[in-house]
Amino acid sequence: MAHSKDSENQRPDLEDSTNVVEAHASLLATGAAQSRERRIEETGMEPVSLWVFLGSAIVLLVGGAVVGAGGKLFNYDPHPTGYVRPEYISDADSGPTIGPIMEALMKRGKNIYTKCSGCHGSSGAGDGGNRPPLANSEWVTGSPERLAMIILNGVKGPIVVDGKTYGADVMDGQGPLTADELAGIMTYVRNSFGNEVGDVVTPEQAAEAIKISNVRAGAHMSADELNANHDKALEGDPIDPSTPVDFETLKPVEASAPAPAE
Amino acid sequence: MVTDTDSDTALQKDLELRARIDRSLRHPVMFFFTSGAAWLAVAVLLGFISSFKSHDSTFLANLGFLNYGRVYPAHLTVLIYGWGCQAAFGLIIWLMARLSRKECTSVGVILTAGHLWNFGVSVGVLGILAGYGSGRPWMEFPAAVWPLLLVSYFFITIWSFIQFRCSEGGKTYVAQWYLVAALFWFPWIYLSAHLFVFVFNGHPVMAAGVNAWFKYALIFLFFTPVALGTAYYLAPKVTGRPVYSYTLALFGFWALAVIGPWAGMQKLAGGPLPQFLPYLGAAATVLILIPALAVGVNILLTLRGHEAEVTASPSLRFTIGGIVSFVILGVMGLGLNTPASLKMTQFSLAGYGFEVLAIYGFFSMCAFGGIYFIVPRITRREWLSRRFISWHFWLSLYGIGTVVVCSILGGLFQGAAQEAYNAAWSDAATRNYAYNVGTTVAWGLIIFSSLFFLLHLLLMWARLGRRSQHPTLLKGDHHEDSPHGPDGDLDELQTAEA
Amino acid sequence: MDSANDNPLKRFSTFWVGLVLFAAFGLAGLVLGIGFNKPVKNGYDEVNSERRETIREEVDKTHAGARDMADKSFERVGAVYLESAPVAVEKPEFILPGSATQLGKASGGTGVKVPAGFPEVAADAPIDPAVMAKGQALYAVCSACHGPNGEGMYHINKTGPPLADSEWVVGPVANLIAIQFRGLNGTIEVNGKSYTPVAPMAPLPLDDESVAAVLTYIRNSFGNKASPVTAEQVKAMEGEKGKPMLSPADLIPPK
Amino acid sequence: MTFKAFMSALAVSFAVPWFLIIVVPYAKMRDLEPVHFEQDSDGRDEVYVPRRSGRISTGSAVYGANGCYVCHTQMIRKGFAGSELGRPDWAGFRVQDESGVSINTSRETTPYDFVGEEFAHVGIMRVGPDLSNVAGRVQKYLDHPLTKADSPEGWLYLHLYNSALKTVTLNNKFGCPRQTHLFKEQPRVGQGSPNAVPGLENDGMEVLPTGNAKALVSYLLSLKKDDAVPYSINYSRDKKKAE
């Protein structure tokens, strides 16, 4: 026979003896795992339950529908025929281009607020933990300069909002912001989530606030510092929220201009 | 009529043949399992780092080579080529030798080829981390590595094909169909995909299409058949009952063979290539549920009535985990690949969840089942500690369950947020923060499970397992007074065997 | 082991069957791939090459004019000079008294005449190196047509004949001074070869010392050895100024 | 089932899909017919040659080697398969065409958009924005009054070096991981080297982009895929409505 009974040409195992007979005996003795093994019988011929074929049929249907979505099968032309680009109504260019300044700033603020919704919640209710709500918070509806300082430089240390003290978490400054962006976000938070201040922070006032913040050029604010030197209105003449402005440039447009047909 | 003595001598000859086969196989198979387990630990660690970085970009930020863009590809390639392929080689070699009742005569060649494979994988992974990755998903090894892997694959597995061809007794088992199919599908997929993506200069989008096809072909046409082959071997072997239904097995096998090669190109749906290709791929991935149902029913019905044994035997417990994952994979395939859901999950976390469910949830669990059955036979030692096995099982199950649930749910929500084109993009980007954190925690669990597994395997490799006649069985949780008595050496055993 | 189904021959054949089967689709891909790797049929390179040709033709067309203009530039310069010969003065009263034209008219055109009292200079008179240096500097202008080493540019673009060992240069000084004042045009025989420059030599408006210096320089370099030319000699010949351009026949034949 | 029958059935069940969805489309897409602008529908009669400038092949290799494709995609899907077309500044921009009318140049990715690259980095997960038209977006970020960068390259170097810097997009902490390995820091001598990245000087150190960074930025600035395409592959609604 070509192959010897006991394949000693294999590398010897740790405790292998070179004596053939003994190796043979030990092979049998220690083959416990092998000895308790069972032989595999013939594969059974049980009838296949109907459910398997039913399930497969349903899956086949779904598969067919999916293939259907692929247009003509085996049509190797990469340019699809009969496809027309659907209509996309995007907020950016829908909506009026001239309207009250309140609407213009609210629209800008809404876009920017997506960056604040991570902590203050999409409905301005805070995150229930150590991030304060904006809804009826006196810091938001109170003096605009204080709110501007909070947004531009952030807050550190304990701060009482709507009766509860928050301070475990530090709010980073969200600057730098352009005057339009700051005006937008301040107007938005002061007139949403139930806050009804009703006035508008103009880009000029926002620019003033940015100047004050740059002059201070410090890191996070503290509640007392806010109340001590920033609890006042911003310079710059307030504007009637319903003066029509061009949405793009936020510049007032003389009222007589007929509203462009939408 | 076979007299008593004849059946005794036949049993004796059979036992002797098994022992000889296992002796001849102990070095290559143990090599593949241990080096695979080591690569698995590395892959899971890289997975943990990449997942941690996905939600906190300051974690290990200053290490250039651990940049997220390199850790994620390294994690996946090590999981597939380091662990997946080597575990599959060990299983193929041992199962084919046992099923064709042939000793392995070319251990030396297999070992050298195995070392070459490991060398190729390590050069590849270091290449990726050093920034020489090729930039093709799942083919990120630097371009010179793939021929080396292919050649070493050939010299590892050709001997199993020879054993299959030269086996006597003309009876081929269901497991053998799957193993031979896997043997041939891998080079067909690997060689033709790498030729079309690396060697030929064709259209860049079509190269991306072939790459997407390669990912799903590797899952459905190499890892799936090897895992199903193991399951079809273990279920009848451990319970001593025949496979439930031959026709169902035949139907399941040929369903996989016919449906599998079509799947994959749905990654490019809506893209600039022939429009039918992606939706054909999506349909094929949906139809994978058919072989999944067939196999699931077949295996589970084979084990019906042996619940005590299933919970007690570690290999069966893992195999069942794997088969159930395969059915879940089929259902996920259906769920994620309908045109409506494809719109959301195409470029989202869900794809990663599907792949991890396929590679770890399904293939690896079946591979662990096979390993827990094979290693005591080739090292002639029983597993040292039952707790290691149960820790490994439960941590893997919960870990992978969490990774898959987080990834697929996170992917769906992320996709939905992406489709809302009017909302700000940062809203969609931050949507899956919580799911990333969940995935990180899950990979943390799996790190421990793979460490337990690796440590246990190394002990067995060093021949420090229990020397006893009786298998290490997992204590059945629901009945304390199981016949095996307390932990450790067991007295005479009548019924359950592993 | 050596039963019907498992013998070394079968194992050997299975090995190779396995190899072929393993590489089946790879080889098929390779065979097809060779078909793929031929250059793309009518992709962009063809379109681009057509575009390149059209652009090349346009470029050639626009630049065609410029190119041949460059070749015939000297003929054109010559033609310009010929046309721009001084216009004959219709009415005698236009001539300024004492001007070169009036003098020239008075002394009649054509031939070079050595005026009375033309100062002679000895052949071996000492040459002042400062004059030679000045002459060399001035020669730079002349080198454009007579070549930097006096070898002439005739063989390149049919302009100036050579000055090196030219009998005219070492010949009578009056010729050279007259040429400087009146220019020279037509076929001239130098050292046995005849030259018909495409452009006539233009009269150069230099002062007397400069003309003397440059003539001294050319008479004592490029291998020539002759008497220097003095400013007085040049001054004596100022009658030649304003006369119409000389032709070689008008020159005093050298001995 | 004999061995030969089993193997041939296996081979056939693999060969058919392999041929139909890999070989044939590969061959067909390789010899793609260039499309032509027609005189009647596009107003000019020439071939549509996609033009991309910049270090595309090296940049694409660096893009792949650093795994940018893991979080970024480069595909604007067709309407029925995804809605990137609706997202502002992703598929194209709102520009004033020559007659002063503001048009939207968004369009789907065509097979001609990946010219010059060997492998289209379509991308795996879309954690970051799609990069098909990133060059145009960078130009818009530069117009923002607060950005520190002065050139598109400068903005991209700033973003790659530390996307947490408040260049213009308000940052969140899962931004693009820092690609510091693409830059080298060196002490600032005198008034610093000319190609240091503006806006990154601090306490005597300056940051210079390496060769890979330059190739990558040049590749990213070549990503602008909203040029007008011929009528035959232009799927825009108003064009089709015109008929």
pLDDT at B498: 46
- CATH 1.10.760.10 for domain C92-250: yes
Q: pLDDT at residue C44 above 80? A: no
Contact residues, chain B, for A45 at CB < 8 Å: 245-247
How many whole angstroms separate alpha carbon D36 and alpha carbon D57? Answer: 26
Strand, helix or coil for residue A221: strand
Superfamily of domain D39-237: Cytochrome c-like domain (1.10.760.10)
Average pLDDT over residues C199-220: 82
DSSP B64: G
Q: Name the residue of chain A whose CA is nearest to C7's CA.
A: A2
Q: Which amino acid is at B339?
A: P
Contact residues, chain B, for D25 at CB < 8 Å: 206, 209, 273-274, 277
pLDDT at A15: 52
pLDDT at B483: 44
The CA distance from D196 to the nearest CA of chain B, in Å, is 20
Q: What is the CATH number of the domain that holds A199?
A: 1.10.760.10
How many whole angstroms separate alpha carbon B326 and alpha carbon B366? Answer: 10
Is the model more confident about A174 or about B390?
Answer: B390
Which burial class, exposed, middle or buried, applies to B74 when counting CB atoms under 10 A from its CB (0-12, 13-18, 19+)?
buried
pLDDT at B330: 95
How many whole angstroms separate alpha carbon D84 and alpha carbon D66? Answer: 25
The CA distance from A75 to the nearest CA of chain C, in Å, is 20
Q: Which amino acid is at A241?
A: P
Q: pLDDT at residue A5 above 90? A: no
Contact residues, chain A, for C2 at CB < 8 Å: 1-2
Average pLDDT over residues D15-34: 90
Contact residues, chain C, for A1 at CB < 8 Å: 1-2
Is residue A158 in a domain? Answer: yes
pLDDT at A74: 86
Is residue B470 in a domain? Answer: no
Q: Which amino acid is at A21?
A: V
When mean pLDDT is compared across A59-68, A115-124, C56-65, C92-101, the lowest value belongs to: C92-101
C186: tokens are: 């037509």
pLDDT at D174: 60
Test A178 with D170 for CB contact under 8 angstroms: no
Test D27 with C24 for CB contact under 8 angstroms: no
Is the model more confident about A145 or about B498?
Answer: A145
Test B421 with D83 for CB contact under 8 angstroms: yes
- Torsions phi, psi of A175, nearest 5? -70, 180
pLDDT at C107: 58
Confidence of residue A179 (pLDDT cuts 50, 70, 90): confident
Per-residue pLDDT tens over the stretch D82-124? 889 988 889 988 888 788 788 888 899 999 999 889 999 999 9
Q: B440: part of which helix (H) or strand (E)?
A: helix B433-461
Test C24 with D11 for CB contact under 8 angstroms: yes
Per-residue pLDDT tens over the stretch B13-64? 888 888 888 889 999 999 999 999 999 999 999 999 999 988 887 788 778 7
Contacting partners of chain B (3+ CB pairs under 8 A): A, C, D
Test D29 with B349 for CB contact under 8 angstroms: no
- Torsions phi, psi of D104, nearest 5? -110, 115
Whether chain B has a CB inside 8 Å of the CB on C148: the answer is: no
Is residue A169 in a domain? Answer: yes
Number of A to B CB contacts under 8 A, please give it: 176
Contact residues, chain A, for C11 at CB < 8 Å: none
E strand segments, D117-204: 183-187
Contact residues, chain B, for C11 at CB < 8 Å: 162, 166
pLDDT at A150: 86
Count of residues in chain C: 255
Contact residues, chain D, for B425 at CB < 8 Å: 87, 129
pLDDT at A161: 83
Q: pLDDT at residue A30 above 70? A: no
Q: A167: part of which helix (H) or strand (E)?
A: none
Q: pLDDT at residue A33 above 90? A: no
Contacting partners of chain C (3+ CB pairs under 8 A): A, B, D
Confidence of residue A160 (pLDDT cuts 50, 70, 90): confident
pLDDT at A93: 62
Is residue B468 in a domain? Answer: no
Which of these, B182, B188, B113, lies nearest to B151 by C-alpha position? Answer: B113
Confidence of residue A191 (pLDDT cuts 50, 70, 90): confident
Per-residue pLDDT tens over the stretch A81-100? 888 888 887 766 666 677 78
Q: Where are the domains of chain D?
A: 39-237
The CA distance from A5 to the nearest CA of chain C, in Å, is 10
Contact residues, chain C, for D49 at CB < 8 Å: 44, 47-48, 51
Count of residues in chain B: 498
pLDDT at A22: 62
The CA distance from C48 to the nearest CA of chain B, in Å, is 18
Q: Name the residue of chain B whose CA is nearest to A112's CA.
A: B424
- Give D30-52 as a DSSP string: HTPPPPB--HHHHS--SB-----
pLDDT at B347: 93
Q: pLDDT at residue A18 above 60? A: no
Per-residue pLDDT tens over the stretch D140-176? 888 877 777 788 998 899 889 888 775 544 445 567 8
Report how many domains make up chain A.
1
Query: Cβ neighbours of residue D8 under 8 Å, at least 6 residues apart?
Result: none
Q: What is the CATH number of the domain that holds B232?
A: 1.20.210.10
When mean pLDDT is compared across B370-374, C48-52, C193-197, the lowest value belongs to: C48-52
How many whole angstroms separate alpha carbon D161 and alpha carbon D164? Answer: 9
Is residue A114 in a domain? Answer: yes
Q: Name the residue of chain D whose CA is nearest to C34's CA.
A: D27
Side-chain half-sphere exposure of B250, counting CA atoms within 13 A: 13
How many whole angstroms separate alpha carbon B76 and alpha carbon B124? Answer: 12
**Out of D78, D85, D240, whose CB is closest to A80?**
D78
What integer best gives the mean pLDDT of chain D? 86
Tell me the residue range of the domain where A204 lies: 101-232
**What ipTM does the predicted assembly reach?**
0.78
Contacting partners of chain A (3+ CB pairs under 8 A): B, C, D
Q: Which amino acid is at B287?
A: L
Q: pLDDT at residue C178 above 50? A: yes
Q: pLDDT at residue D187 above 80? A: yes
A181: tokens are: 């962006």
Tell me the residue range of the domain where B82 lies: 16-461
Most confident of A167-171, A255-259, B31-35, C215-219: B31-35
Confidence of residue A129 (pLDDT cuts 50, 70, 90): confident
pLDDT at B490: 39
Whether chain B has a CB inside 8 Å of the CB on C45: the answer is: no
pLDDT at B478: 39
- As a whole-number percent, the residues of chain C with pLDDT over 70 amount to 80
Contact residues, chain C, for B188 at CB < 8 Å: 22, 24-26
Test A78 with D32 for CB contact under 8 angstroms: yes
Q: Which residues of chain B have pLDDT under 50?
A: 1-2, 476-498
When mean pLDDT is compared across B306-320, C147-161, D217-231, the lowest value belongs to: C147-161
Rg (CA), chain C: 39
Test B165 with C14 for CB contact under 8 angstroms: yes
How many whole angstroms separate alpha carbon C70 and alpha carbon A38? Answer: 102
Q: pLDDT at residue C148 above 70? A: yes
